[in-house]
Each structure stands twice: as structure tokens, then as C-alpha cells.
Amino acid sequence: MNTIAIRNLTKRYGDQLAVDDLTLEVEEGSVCGLLGPNGAGKTTAFKSLLGLLRPTSGTLEVLGAPVTPATFESLAFVPERNDLYEWMTVGEQLALARRTYKTFDPKRAAELGALFKLDSRKKIKRLSKGQQSAVALTLAFAFRPRVLVLDEPSSGLDPIFQRVALDLIIDAAASGATVLFSSHQVGQVERAADRVAILKDGKLVLDGNIDTLKGEEKIVEAVFEQNAIAPNGLASDPRVRRIESSGRVLRAFVRSDSAGIVRLLEAHNPKAVSVYDLALEDIFLGAVAGPANAYGEAS
Amino acid sequence: MPAVFSIDPRSGVPLYLQLIEQVKRAVALGTLAAGEQLPTVKALAVDLTVNPNTVARAYRELERDRVIETSPGRGSFVRSDEGNADVRRAVEDVGASVLAGAVREARSLGLERDTVRALFERALERWFAGNDREDT
């Protein structure tokens, strides 16, 4: 079952298209990392999913049904800007959550508070942005929700607490929770998620299992005796995202079947052909930068 | 004692493949002994700070390759069949992929087949000194 289902979501603000026909489904137990430049539509997609924004069109479901207040008994949302009660102390905020959520686990909350070194007597408004994020994460994870939607969960956190936040996501996933989180840090997605979705200008430009993408997305580089000339049809080959050539070197950015592309290039008598792996960061940058038609549909 | 695996999430090599290779290597080197228990998926995921589904995928493939076996409720163990041909084959797998990588690199440098063979023979001689040397 897909625990989170965003289907054909479009959100328009006036004449600006914030999210453009986005379909993204996250299956039960999966952790999906959402990457994209600022303004790509990540926050709008989250808010639409959770009923905090009215979509222009589209179908949005969590646990097989549209989101209602009851959904929040099994779903935790950590927004990009925290929605804590600033006049409360950390302890009061936790006590409120304890009364609100049947499944709130005070022991777990105390553990998380200790991990993040939170002082329960401090007023929320006196905390740094990072500490406020830590409170929001403590609240979210302490009631052991089945679904977590986290909008930049580690913003403002120092590297040590960022690792704590990653550990929390991994621990929740290992207990069967489904997680959708956005981040600007590819390394976090690379560790915590099994799946990545990349948004650009409100559109989904790449989506898939991270290990599968890493296994398929390659650079095939051929060095020729003389100036490299791309074989006919290579640039429009469905297995090839784009090609670059400079001097005697030809590089093909391949989306699948690198071995087939190697054979194809070897038929043109290169001096040498090599295959290079792409890290998720390279895959991400390739998806959001470069020529507009390099990834996704051709223009 | 759980074996320590070193993986690099930032590498372009799929994580589950890195993990499979590491487990096979540990079995080959004996740092994971026959019959020894592996960490649970959850424990290893938390330990390495990587996604648990990725670890579970590696374990599934290791089971399919008959390197480990999982019994429900007890955990995953290195197989301890007599003579364990599967573990030996796993060791050969690791060796084969290392050698294939080396040959690929040599070829990508533009070296000819005969040159690569000569270099390989030289390396064999260096690391297997004292064995059969009659064919060189």
C-alpha cells in the first residue's frame, strides 16, 4: 500500500505555478527524500498533502484516505518554520503533547530531550533556531507516528544534532514508519532514504530507488585518436541523457544500460572507454542544472 | 562480536552492493566465521546510519547467494554447511570483481591485452612468489 499518495497535484498562486502536476507515492515503510532548489515547490507539496493549503487540483491521501484531523493521530508533521508555542517552556510544550497524543511516550520524549540536550525549563522563544527544531523533532518522534512528514528537519541543527535527526529517521523506519522528508543536504538523503524524488520548478524531474539510480546512472567516457565525434543517434538514444565532447574526449551521461553504450562506443574504435559512477549529488545536480531538456522530458 | 563494515554512502556504488561485498569479504577473511550471527537489520542500519531497507536488501541477496541464512526470530547467520562451497564461491566473487575492475582500468588506460597479461603475470609472480614459476 502507498502510505503517502500525491497524485497530479497542481498548486497555482495567481499566475505562478508552484507545483505542476506532481505525482509522488511513498510505499509503507519507505523513506523518501525530497530534494530540490529553493522555490521548487517542496513546502507547497507538503502543505497541500496535509490539508494546510487548498490545492488547485489533485488527489492527496495519507494511509489510504484524505487527510482529516484524525490523520494526525498517526502522522507527525514538522514544518519548515516551527509551529511551537513560543511563550511555553520546553517542558510545558512536551506536557501539552502528552495530553494531546494518546500514543505519546514520555520516556521516549525524555530520551530525545537528553539526546538534543534540551533544557525543559527554557522558554521556546529563548531557544536558538536549531534548539527549536530539536523540540519539534522531539515532539514528532516521541509519539511514535506511523507516518512522518518532515520539511527540512535538520535546518539550524549543528552537524552533531543533524546526525541525531538522521538516527531518528532511521530508527523510525526500522520500526516500520513511512517517512517523507525534504532536505538541502544530499548526504542526508543518501543515508537515511531508500528513495529520492527531485523537484524543479514545481515538477518532478527524477524519482526512484537511490541504489537503483546509482546502479544505472553512469558517465561513459570515450577517448579517441582524433577529435571525438558523437556516433549518429547517440544524443537521442533513450538510454542517454546528454552528451558532452571536448577535443578527443566524448562523455555520455547515461540513465541506463551503460554496458550497451560502452559497446556502442567501442564500435567506433576509441583508444579507451571508461565507466564512472555518479554519486547522488552528481545525479541531483544533473537533474536540476544544465540544459533544461537534459533530464525529464525533452523540450 | 559484530563485524565492522566500512561503507561509503557518498560513493556512486549502490550501498547494498557495498554491503554485500563487505560481508563476503569478511566471510572470506574469516572476520565473520561460519555460523556467526550478523547484526539485525535494524542494529546495522542504526550502526552505519543508513536506511534499513537498504540493509534488508543486502541481506536478502546474501541469503539468495547462500552466504547467510536467516531463521525467523533468531536472526541472520553465516552459513556453516560442511565445506561451504557457497562461501568459497562468495570469496571468488569478491576476487573476480576486484580483478575485473583492475583489468577494466588497465584497458581504459589504453593498454593492449598482451601488456595487461604481462603485467598480470608480473603481479602474480610478486604476490605468489615461490609457487609455480615454470611458465615465466
pLDDT, tens only, A231-284? 888 989 999 998 999 999 999 999 999 999 999 998 998 888 889 999 999 999
Q: How far is B130 from chain A (nearest CA, A)?
A: 35
pLDDT at B33: 87
Strands A57-62 and A2-13: antiparallel
- A13 SS3 class: strand
Assess whether B91 and B65 both reside in one domain. Answer: no
pTM: 0.87
For residues A287 and A198, the answer to whether their CB atoms sit within 8 Å is yes
Please name the residue ranges forming H helices in chain A: 42-49, 90-100, 106-115, 129-142, 159-174, 186-192, 210-216, 258-266, 280-288
For residues B61 and B76, the answer to whether their CB atoms sit within 8 Å is no
Assess whether B50 and B102 both reside in one domain. Answer: no
Q: Which of A220-229, B60-69, B121-130 has the lowest mean pLDDT?
A: B121-130
Assess whether B42 and B23 both reside in one domain. Answer: yes
- A178 SS3 class: strand
Domain that holds residue B102: 85-127
pLDDT at B84: 65
pLDDT, tens only, A176-202? 999 999 999 999 999 999 999 999 999
Among B78, B98, B113, the domain boundary falls at B78
pLDDT at A297: 41
pLDDT at B74: 87
Q: How many domains in chain B? A: 2
Alpha carbon B3 to its chain centroid, in Å, reads 13
pLDDT at A289: 78
Assess whether B22 and B72 both reside in one domain. Answer: yes
CB contact (8 A) between residue A191 and residue B50: yes
Q: What CATH number belongs to A2-209? A: 3.40.50.300
Assess whether B101 and B50 both reside in one domain. Answer: no
Assess whether B37 and B59 both reside in one domain. Answer: yes
Chain B residues with CB within 8 Å of chain A CB: 9-17, 41-42, 45-46, 49-54, 57, 104-105, 107-110
Give Cβ neighbours of residue A232 (< 8 Å, ≥ 6 apart). none
pLDDT band (50, 70, 90) for residue A294: very low
Would you list the domain boundaries of chain A? 2-209, 218-277
Among B42, B63, B78, the domain boundary falls at B78
pLDDT, tens only, A198-218? 999 999 999 999 999 999 999
Assess whether B63 and B36 both reside in one domain. Answer: yes
What are the helix and strand counts (H, E) for chain A?
Answer: 9, 13
Per-chain mean pLDDT for chain B = 85
Q: Does A220 touch chain B (CB under 8 A)?
A: no
For residues A202 and A211, the answer to whether their CB atoms sit within 8 Å is no
The terminus-to-terminus CA distance of chain A in angstroms comes to 34
Assess whether B63 and B118 both reside in one domain. Answer: no
In a domain, B10, yes or no: no
Q: How far is B95 from chain A (nearest CA, A)?
A: 20
CATH code of the domain covering residue B71: 1.10.10.10
pLDDT at A291: 52
ipTM confidence: 0.88
